Structure 1
Amino acid sequence: MENTHEYVEKLHENQKKADKNRKKGSESSSFKLPNKQHSTNK
């Protein structure tokens, strides 16, 4: 497992991106949630 350090770095980068996406999506989450509910109710 020599690539463990690289894997951890990628994980941290992905977490940062996910946090940014969450902050951007928080405004439109009200639109996304009803869509998910409708798709599961079919």
Structure 2
Amino acid sequence: MEDLQQFVEKIHDKQAKDEKNRRHQGKGTPGDKLPNKQHSTNK
């Protein structure tokens, strides 16, 4: 039974990390994604 609990915790951790990465990279909301190479035009 403890193996099942560890498995569930592992899955929840992975889902939380995936959601954080999606928000950070703007996959769900492309308008929120930060532009790459932000300083290249500020010479």
Classify the TM-score, shorter chain.
Answer: 0.5 to 0.7
Identity %: 39
Offset at residue 14 of structure 1 (A) = 0.5
- Which structure has more relative contact order (CA 8 Å, sep 6+)? It is 2
Q: Which has the larger radius of gyration?
A: 2
RMSD: 2.0
- Runs of 4+ that moved beyond 3 A: none
In proportion to residue count, which structure has more helix? 1
Q: Which residue of 2 aligns with 1:7?
A: 7
Q: Structure 1: give runs of 5+ residues left out of the alignment.
A: 30-42
